[in-house]
Amino acid sequence: MKIIYYSEETRGRADYGWLKPRYSFSFSNYYDPTRKHFGLLRVLNDDIVAAGMGFGTHPHDNMEIVTIPLSGALGHKDSMGNASEIKVNEVQIMSAGKGITHSEFNNSPTEELKLLQIWVFPKIKNISPRYDQKTYLSETRKNKFQTIVSPIQSDDTLWINQDAFFALASIDDKKEVEYTIQHPSNGAYVFIIEGSVEINGQVLSKRDALGISETEKFTVKANSSAEVLVIDVPMH
C-alpha cells in the first residue's frame, strides 16, 4: 500500500473577499509543483462563497466537474439551457466535453455557501457536453459507502466520462467501514468532510486527506462521527 498524507494546513489558501477557497491541488494563484494532481483527479476546491455572490459566465472544456454543496444552495445556469439549484444532499456533475459556458452563484442573500468542486480529467475528449444532478440523503450511507458517481450507466449514480467512482459515507463514532478500490489501476483520494478517522494507522481530521494506491482495499475507522468522501480514480 502506498500512502500520501495531505494535512488540511498544507492546502493552498486565498481570500478574495466574496470567495474564500482552499485548494487541495495547484489552482489559480496557488502553485505547488509537488501537488498538481492525484492520478487523474485534477482539482478539489473547498470554497466559501459570500451571500449573493458567485462566478459569472465562464468556459470549460474536456473536464469532468462534480459539485457537492456542504451548506446553502448553489444556482447554476449553462449554455445547454440548464437552470437549476443544487442544495445540501444533492450532487451535480457536468461533462464539459467539447466546450460549455456556465455561471454559479450563491442563491441566498444572507447566508454563506460552502461547497466542494472537483475536477477529473476525462476518458474521452470532445464529447457532447452533459449535465445531471441527484439527491443522496445521508441516512442512505449510514456506516457504509454509497457510490454517487460512476462510469456505469445507472439510475442510482451520476455518470462520469472516466473510470472513476465517487462514494460518500456517514460513519458513527468507533464504527469501521471497508472500502474496495474499483479497478486494479485506480487509487483512492480519501477526504474527510467532517469528524476524525483512522486509516492504516494514520489519523485524519476535518479536511485532511489521504491518497491511497497499490492496494485492493482499506478500512476507515471513525474516531468521532465522520463524513467521508472517496474519489476512486485511475492513477495514470
CATH number at residue 115: 2.60.120.10
- What was the pLDDT predicted at 7? 97
**How is residue 168 written as a grid cell?**
460518500
Residue 6 resides in a domain: no
User: Please, are residues 177 and 169 in contact by the beta-carbon 8 Å criterion?
Assistant: yes
- What was the pLDDT predicted at 148? 98
- What was the pLDDT predicted at 77? 97
175 CB burial (10 A radius; 0-12, 13-18, 19+): middle
**How is residue 126 written as a grid cell?**
470532445
Same domain as 48, residue 160: no
Point out the residues of the chain with pLDDT beneath 50.
none
Interatomic CA distance for residues 31 and 28, integer angstroms: 8
Same domain as 113, residue 167: no
- What was the pLDDT predicted at 152? 95
Interatomic CA distance for residues 93 and 183, integer angstroms: 21
How many domains does the chain divide into? 2
**How far is residue 71 from each of residues 74, 95, 106, 128, measured CA to CA in Å?**
9, 24, 10, 31
- What was the pLDDT predicted at 9? 96
Residue 145 resides in a domain: yes
- What was the pLDDT predicted at 234? 98
| Closest to 50 (Cα-Cα) out of 102, 108, 90, 89 | 108
Q: pLDDT by residue (tens digit) across 166-203?
A: 999 999 999 999 999 999 999 999 999 999 999 999 99
Same domain as 213, residue 153: yes
Contacts of 28 (CB under 8 A, 6+ apart): 14, 21
Q: Please give the model's pTM, rounded to 2 decimal places.
A: 0.97
Contacts of 214 (CB under 8 A, 6+ apart): 1, 2, 187
The SS3 call for residue 142 is: strand
Interatomic CA distance for residues 143 and 137, integer angstroms: 13
Same domain as 101, residue 71: yes
Residue 1 resides in a domain: no
Same domain as 60, residue 15: yes
Boundary-marking domain end, from 108, 135, 162? 135
Domain extent, residue 174, equals 138-234
- What was the pLDDT predicted at 233? 98
**How is residue 90 written as a grid cell?**
444533492
Same domain as 131, residue 39: yes
Phi/psi of residue 8, each to 5°? -60, -35
Same domain as 15, residue 118: yes
- What was the pLDDT predicted at 100? 97
The SS3 call for residue 10 is: helix
- Give the full edge-to-edge strand order of the sheet including 202-204: 176-180, 217-222, 197-199, 202-204
Same domain as 216, residue 111: no
Boundary-marking domain end, from 135, 157, 177? 135
Residue 109 resides in a domain: yes
Give the Cα-Cα-Cα angle 131, 106, 35 (nearest 5 degrees). 70
Residue 47 resides in a domain: yes
Region of residue 140 (phi > 0: left; psi between -120 and 50: alpha; otherwise: beta) = alpha
Boundary-marking domain end, from 135, 156, 180? 135
- What was the pLDDT predicted at 96? 98
